[in-house]
Structure 1
Amino acid sequence: MSALLSPSAQRTIVRRTRGRGHGPITRLMSPGDLGQVLKPFVFLDLFQGESSFAGGMPIHPHSGLATVTVVTEGDFRFDDAVSGEGELAYGGVEWMRSGGGVWHGKELSPGQSPRIAGFQLWLALPPELENGPVDSQYIEAKAMPASGPVTVILGEYAGLRSPVRAPEGVHYLLVTLQPGQA
């Protein structure tokens, strides 16, 4: 039992998955399983592998959704004509709202680390944004608000607000626990 939660506040695990892998990407959640229950969350992908795979992503289209990519190991370089250039390391975030349509895939490239890992969450956009303008942000880890072990990726937590321009009411946290910490 966790020292932080009372017995009445603890929840049981409803579902576990190892996901379905394809190369360095493992799809942990999709519309055919928990995606139906957890809307607006559509897909949750875990990526991990040699950092060179970051530069190998072909240009591809998206429309009517948003993705938020969070780095949990290693680093990426980003270079975007509108958002500038820099580095995304642990806790750094890429936000891409595709709106009415966008082609992307060459904005990220390998950084200094030989390996990278992280999560990419795909979000269904509210109707008023589905065909709206494209919006991209690359936010380095030092600019992401944190309280103790919690980094606020989307939305709000403990009086802190994420700088990501996500739709209201969506909250996504990166929780970093030390070994043995509950």
Structure 2
Amino acid sequence: MEPAIDPGVTGNSQDARRILQRTRGKATGSITRLASPSDIGRLIKPFVFLDYIDVKSPIEVNGPLHPHSGIATLTALVEGSFHHQDSKGQPKSMKAGGMEWMQAGRGIWHGGPAGTSGAAKLYQLWIALPPTLELSAPYEMFLEPDEVPSNGPARVMMGRIEGEASPVSEPRPITYLNVRLRKGERWRYTPPRDHDVLWISVYSGSLDAGEQVSEGELVVFEHSERSVDFFAKEDCGFVLGSATHSPFDLVEGYYSVHTNPAALQSGEQEIERLGAQLCADGRLTPERAAQVAHQMSTVTTKS
């Protein structure tokens, strides 16, 4: 069943879906960690990690090559422009509304020079892959803004709304939207059947969702399948995620999240194999490979 959208209605406040938790995360410079597998990620899994990056002026960084396994990442640029490198070291550029999907599966490395030409806002979301995909072959997909379908005020980054489907083949039924509302506009989101996880993160303006939510906040709604009505108190933008709550454990490594220790071990073995190949190709220094191997040896947690 697809989500139903009715921009002309708002719910009775007595029937509003309750906000269970809210946070402004932990900021380090321009990056705010809003969710991780050891905290809010447990409430909203398969969404297990969310970083929000708000850059006020042009930046250039050289991020070290680093690996992932067991997850998929979705990088969504909501304002500005952004350039970086894919896992093969090829330059990629993103415009506002564009996105990158990277399904790490059994293991992948990426990193390198990245930056913006001015102010920019983007999200990086991690999604925990189910057992059938956590050790699958990795792949990447880049979508230009005009390749991301829209329905009313919502851009469909994952899932579908009333026939508008994202080109991303989601690893399980997931909806992930970028929504913009004008001041005074009302919009209702009704999740697909069995989607009992729902959260939003506001990146501009403020809105009412039973309670006021303002720029910089992430709020998690109670587990249910009820719709939520949004009313824009001013022009605003937010991302929204909904899914069926994942029944699988989260077994964390330093760079990975898997469903069990054996899968984590397999993923980290593949990461080491790929690291050795990158060293042979001259893209990775032995010192960096050794640092990653040490980091992976020091962390394994289950939640």
Q: Counterpart of 1:152 in structure 2: which amino acid?
A: V
Deviation per CA, 1:42-76, whole angstroms, max 9, x where unpaired?
111111114424x4322111111011011111112
Task: From the superposition, tell whether residues 145 and 97 of structure 1 become closer, same or farther in structure 2 (CA, over 3 Å).
Answer: same
TM-score (norm 1): 0.86
Gaps of 5+ in 2: 1-6, 186-230, 232-303
Question: After the TM superposition, which residues 6-155 of structure 1 pair with which residues of structure 2 at under 5 Å, given as runs?
Answer: 6-7=11-12, 10-49=16-55, 50-53=57-60, 55-80=61-86, 87-106=93-112, 109-111=114-116, 113-155=117-159
Q: How many residues align?
A: 178
Alpha carbons of structure 1 residues 129 and 141: separation in structure 2 relative to 1, 3 Å: same
Pair 179,90 (structure 1): closer, same or farther in 2 beyond 3 Å = farther
Which structure is larger by alpha-carbon Rg, 1 or 2? 2
**Shift in Å at residue 4 of structure 1?**
2.4
Letter in 1 for 2:20: V
Aligned position for 1:5: 10
Measured against aligned partners, the alpha-carbon deviations of 1:138-162 in whole angstroms (never above 9, x if no partner) come to: 1011110001110001111121110
Q: Specify whether residues 110 and 151 from structure 1 end up closer, same or farther in structure 2 by C-alpha distance, changes over 3 A only.
A: same
Cα gap change, 1:86 to 1:100, in 2 (>3 Å): closer
Cα RMSD between the aligned structures? 2.4
Counterpart code for 2:82: F
2:75·2:123 contact (CA, 8 Å) conserved in 1? Answer: yes
In the alignment, the residues of structure 1 paired with residue 122 and residue 171 of structure 2 have an alpha-carbon distance, to the nearest angstrom, of: 22
Structure in which a larger fraction of residues adopt helix = 2
Q: Which runs of 5+ in 1 are unaligned?
A: none
